[in-house]
Amino acid sequence: MDKKTIAVFGTGRARAGDEAYELAYELGRTLAQAGFAVANGGYGGTMLACAKGAAEAGGEVTGVTCSAFGGGRANEYVSREIVTKSLEERLDMLIGLGEGYVVLPGGTGTLLELAKVWELKNKGFFSADKPIILLGEFWKPLVGLVSRDDPDGSSCVQQVSEPKEAVEILRRSA
């Protein structure tokens, strides 16, 4: 893939009609229309929604799946599947593929993904041109909590309400 790849993290539990699902679909579509490729976990929920939005807009989608999950296959909108052996390898692959990160609402898996990219950037392992974007209001309380202990750490993430705002940040970082 020669397009800039954006790694998107989010919940596998969202269903069509849920706010997070619709937000992910719109994000995927908007990213693809702007010329970005998408990488995500490749399964259901917001991963499927984002992949569907990107694929329907003619975009490229890489799904990074994990054989430790019991053989689940990537969703039908993934154009390239990378199968990893462990959760750690899966996360490292997604981080390595990403030239920017967008984080949707999610549970502990999404929290793990956010925490790792946030800490890598906070400690200077990522350059300033690798944005971490929190889409929607979901993570706002967490950013506030972290800021109480590490005020400078919150400067590593950007919070936006709409997919088009995320894309504008990603375009500026290109």
pLDDT in tens, 68-100: 988 679 999 999 999 999 999 999 999 999 999
Cα gap 63→41, rounded to integer Å: 5
Q: Report the CATH number that the domain containing residue 44 is assigned in CATH.
A: 3.40.50.450
Is the pLDDT score of 2 beyond 80? no
**Average pLDDT of 127-156?**
94
β-partners of residue 101 are 7, 132
Neighbours of 3 (CB within 10 A): 15
The 3-state DSSP class for residue 157 equals coil
> Quick one: DSSP state of residue 66?
E
Q: Report how many domains make up the chain.
A: 1
Q: Which residue type occupies 16?
A: A
- Percentage above 70 pLDDT, the chain: 99
| Domain range enclosing 116 | 5-173
- pLDDT value at residue 127: 79
Q: What are phi and psi of 11, to 5 degrees?
A: -75, 145
- pLDDT value at residue 120: 96
| pLDDT tens, position by position, 53-74 | 999 999 999 999 999 988 679 9
**Average pLDDT of 37-47?**
98
- pLDDT value at residue 129: 84
Is the pLDDT score of 3 beyond 60? yes
Cα gap 157→123, rounded to integer Å: 13
Q: Which residue type occupies 86?
A: S
- pLDDT value at residue 44: 97
pLDDT band at 143, cuts 50/70/90?
Answer: very high
The 3-state DSSP class for residue 167 equals helix
Q: Left (φ > 0), alpha (ψ -120 to 50) or beta: where does 42 sit?
A: left
Residues 6+ apart with CB under 8 A from 7: 39, 40, 94, 95, 97, 98, 100, 101, 102
